[in-house]
Amino acid sequence: MAIARFPSIVLDCPDPVALATFYGTMLDWKVDISNIDGSDGTDGWADVKADYGQCLSFQQVADYQAPQWPGQEVPQQMHLDVVVDDLDAGEAAVLELGATKHEHQPGTSFRVFLDPAGHPFCLCLN
């Protein structure tokens, strides 16, 4: 029997609502900012949730410093790989949402972007 279920990934950021909105729109997941005001003791917290239970959470951090990928002066700390059917269409969509395409592109079956808070993430071919 599992001790826990539905692991969640938490990303530090300067603006949890903005980052939750970005990922919620990209993944078509529900954005939940009900805890942003600290009503449950988690001030500065937002979530995006899939219908099947998966969740990404975003926590506000004072003096946040964006990762500097691929260098390690400020390590990337984590990144997400998300699957797309078409890299060009996926790229256009995430750029419209506010992502930035990183100048360093080390592969051809995926593309590296930075979310609005500077976290690297990859769009990967299915």
Q: Where are the domains of the chain?
A: 8-60, 80-125
- How confident is the model over 76-86, as pLDDT tens digits? 777 788 989 89
Token reading at 112: 């590296």
Question: Residue 37: its pLDDT value, please?
Answer: 73
The mean pLDDT of 4-16, rounded to a whole number, is 81
Question: Residue 7: its pLDDT value, please?
Answer: 61
The CB-side HSE value for 23 (13 A sphere, CA atoms) comes to: 34
Q: Which CATH number fits domain 80-125: 3.50.50.60, 3.90.950.20, 3.10.180.10, 3.30.70.20?
A: 3.10.180.10
Third-level CATH fold of 8-60: 3.30.720
Separation of CA 91 from chain center:
15
Separation of CA 36 from chain center:
17
- How confident is the model over 41-58, as pLDDT tens digits? 556 889 999 999 888 989
Query: What is the three-class DSSP state of 110?
Result: strand
**Nearest alpha carbon to residue 23 among 35, 9, 34:** 9
